[in-house]
Amino acid sequence: MLDQDTATIEGLPVFWRSAPCAAPPALYVHGVPTSSDDWLPFLERTGGVALDLPGFGRSGKPARFDYSIDGYASFLERFVAEVGLERFSLVVHDWGAVGLALAQRMPERVHRLVVINAVPLLPGYRWHRLARVWRTRVAGELFMGATTRAGFKLLSRAANHRPGPLPDALLDAVMAHFDHGTQRAILRLYRSASPATLAAAGAGLGRLTAPALVLWGEHDPYIPVAFADAYAAALPAAELERLPDAGHWPWLDHPPLVDRVGDFLLGP
């Protein structure tokens, strides 16, 4: 049974889902351009908490918010205090990597860590083609303003390993909330994150000594699989599993991944 909750954190409305969990609860952090909808099968398997980040889904999208790695890390610090997560596991995907910035602020509170095709907070990453458009002023705004469901569907053809595009349910969930506020959040987030900024944001990954699992769909058109190895090398207690039959959202191509995450989070 999943619960839905809302609260106002420093004036910003926040939406999240939760389910009971016997182990330390998992905090699930989604990426761009999705929401906590990504994590529904995981919450049903493991319990825990999955929020809509500011700028996405059903949470507030104020112009004044700091849509950057540090801004999200500070917000998540306030969020875990609001929902009473003293000790928790962390599961991140894509731009959910901002959760790794939170973890570096409080490594002693992280029970277990799962990294799934996450934006590299590591040296050497160069943004993919679409991100380079978003990072370019005027061109990014024009591209965002022209994005339709049909266009997003077309762009998503390479995102999963099975013949694309992404499933209609995911496309519908994204477009239901793809308003001006979300478009602004995406542009600001990408423009805040140069390759040097990304590398600096992960400088403390070595302090995350909790057991970690790096899961990576090898057919990811946005993030080269070499960064799966780099994350596994940066995290002291990590194991790596590559999924040769999966893309950027690897659980869509490989549904058993949900159980793999569950076994890892809830195991001894």
Q: Which of 17-26, 55-64, 183-192, 198-207 has the lowest mean pLDDT?
A: 17-26
> How many CB atoms sit inside 10 A of residue 191's CB?
16
Q: What is the pTM of this model?
A: 0.97
pLDDT bin (cut points 50, 70, 90) of residue 70 is very high
Question: Residue 214: is its pLDDT beyond 90?
Answer: yes
Cα–Cα distance between 134 and 151 in angstroms, integer?
Answer: 15
* pLDDT at residue 267, rounded to an integer: 86
Alpha carbon distances (Å) from 127 to 27, 132, 156, 222, 223: 26, 6, 17, 8, 8
* pLDDT at residue 1, rounded to an integer: 78
Degrees, nearest 5: CA angle 235-208-24: 115
pLDDT bin (cut points 50, 70, 90) of residue 53 is very high
Q: What is the pLDDT of residues 157-170, one digit of tens each?
A: 888 877 778 999 99
Residue 221 has what DSSP assignment?
S
pLDDT bin (cut points 50, 70, 90) of residue 177 is very high
> What percent of the chain has pLDDT above 70?
100
Question: Residue 127: is its pLDDT beyond 90?
Answer: yes
* pLDDT at residue 231, rounded to an integer: 98
> How many CB atoms sit inside 10 A of residue 64's CB?
6
Pick the CATH number of 3-266 from 3.40.50.300, 3.30.70.890, 3.40.50.1820, 3.90.1310.10: 3.40.50.1820
| Mean pLDDT, range 126-132, rounded to an integer | 96
| Mean pLDDT, range 117-144, rounded to an integer | 97
* pLDDT at residue 161, rounded to an integer: 79
| 3-state secondary structure (DSSP) of residue 130 | helix
Q: What is the pLDDT of residues 72-99, one digit of tens each?
A: 999 999 999 999 999 999 999 999 999 9
* pLDDT at residue 155, rounded to an integer: 87
Cα–Cα distance between 242 and 263 in angstroms, integer?
Answer: 17
Q: Which of 150-154, 176-180, 207-211, 216-220 has the lowest mean pLDDT?
A: 150-154
* Neighbouring-strand partners of residue 91: 28, 114
Q: Tell me the domain boundaries of the chain.
A: 3-266
